[in-house]
Homo-oligomer: A and B are copies of this chain.
Amino acid sequence: MKFHTPSVMAKGFRCASMNCGIKEEGKDLSLFLSDVTANAAGVFTRNLFPGAPVVLGREIIRHGQLRAVVVNSRVSNVGTGEEGIENARRMARSVSQAFDIPEQEVIMSSTGVIGRQLPIEKIEAGISTIGSGLTSDPLVGAEGIMTTDTYPKAISLEVDGATLTIIGKGSGMIEPNMATMLVYILTDAEIPVAALDRMLREAVKDSFNMLSVDSDTSTSDTCLALANGLAGPVDHTRFAEALKTACVEMTRLLARDGEGATKLLTATVTGAVNDTEARFIAKALINSPLIKTMAYGADPNIGRILMAVGKCTHCTVAPEKLSITINGTLVYTDQARVDFDEARVRSLLSGEHVAIGVSLSSGDASATAYGCDLTEKYIEENAAYYSS
């Protein structure tokens, strides 16, 4: 398994992006296209108010076959009723006509403001011309799906002679539940639909499902995997491992680029009695505003870590067995603060990555959650993000 720098596109996939007039400036429409029909799997938000693309997407993915993914940003097509469903269908139909693909092999996503109808004519006009810009640079496709992200995100790696490319976006309203904001996984490996689906769910569980920027679950979260088979068969164990590694890497990129973030925050819980509790405590740590601001302020405030573990009142936590590390330095054990080198820990906390480790010594389960610090900029962005 080997990461590419810069990232490259899996064989037989191309993408394009453009401004079709939804945003005043910047790209707002992206297309991902496979030259041949790809096996496909997907996971979507579990929010009870899913957007129209998610409602339709769940039906479309059932066939397990895709040629194209079309995505617009700025308007999410959520809370838009029957008209929203019809508009999502029109996005697929336009791609079908423009690229001569069966309509049921086109899936769509929308991200942005909730409760507004899509400017569907602009999108249709855009789709009719977007083909001229098709390229094999995945970052081009990543550009059209951005909302508050500060840069486009794509990673790729080589596994067993096949290429795995992941394009993702997501910056706020992020605590995915079954998926993340928008993530498209494209590979030329040959993988049957059932295996692809299983591998995707397994990878998502430890990556995007452990990501939280602000504990708010989007109505549009979508993660799709397309495998067009052009590179032939691969070893499933190695591919699944590569997929999980790449998903974790993309999760770290999304977390680090959380709205207003200045650093990546991770929490690793070990020794939990079971997987559920390990995940719950890791998420509680990553979501605590007091830990997020502590990371921002670069202060080794052990009390806040104790507090966040302690508020998981239904979990099995034996206070006398708890140890805490910050970026690898032991700061709490045997029910007392360790006399650590504060200046050194403060300096570690000032870096790009704050890593909190909590050892419970009560069982064998472990989990890592991914988030970011909480800064004035998150407030500014979200207090100013007007809905109309």
Q: Give the distance to chain B from A224, nearest Cβ to Cβ, in Å.
A: 21
Query: In the complex, are the beta carbons of B79 and A173 less than 8 A apart?
Result: no
Residues of B within 8 A of A309 (CB): 48-49
Please report which residues of chain A, range 297-323, place their CB below 8 angstroms from some CB of chain B when the two chains form the complex: 297, 299-304, 306-313, 315, 317, 319
In the complex formed, the residue of B with least CB distance to A302 is B115
Copies of this protein chain in the complex: 2
A376 to chain B, nearest CB (A): 4
Residues of B within 8 A of A312 (CB): 48
Interface size on A, residues (CB 8 A): 66
Q: Is the CB of B49 within 8 A of A81?
A: no
B114 touches A307 (CB 8 A): yes
Contact across chains for B296 and A173 when beta carbons are under 8 A apart: no
Partner of A303, one of B76, B81, B342, B375: B76
A219 to B332, CA, bound (A): 16
Structural contact, A293 and B115, CB atoms closer than 8 A = no
Chain B residues with CB under 8 A of A288: 215-216
**Cβ of A307 and Cβ of B337 under 8 Å apart?**
no
C-alpha spacing A313/B46, complex, angstroms: 7
Residues 40-61 of A, flagged 1 when their CB comes within 8 A of B and 0 if not, give 0000001111100000000000
- Cross-chain contact B215 with A303 (CB below 8 angstroms): no
Cα(A302)–Cα(B289), bound, Å: 24
The CA of A382 and the CA of B375, in the complex, are separated in Å by 10
Cβ-based interface call for A125 (8 A): no
In the bound complex, CA of A380 to CA of B380 (Å): 13
**What's the least CB distance linking A156 to chain B, in Å?**
32
Given the interface contacts A303-B78, A384-B297, does A216 sit within 8 Å of B290 by beta carbon? yes
Are A374 and B379 CB-contacts (below 8 A) given A177-B313, A303-B79? yes
Q: How far is the CA of A172 from the CA of B114 in the complex (A)?
A: 31
B307 A173 Cβ-Cβ under 8 A:
yes
- Having A219-B307, A299-B383, one finds 5 other A-B pairs with CB under 8 Å, namely A114-B303, A172-B290, A214-B289, A299-B385, A375-B379
Chain A residues near B (Cβ < 8 Å): 46-50, 76, 78-81, 113-115, 172-173, 175, 177, 214-219, 287-290, 293-294, 296-297, 299-304, 306-313, 315, 317, 319, 332, 335-337, 342, 374-376, 378-380, 382-388
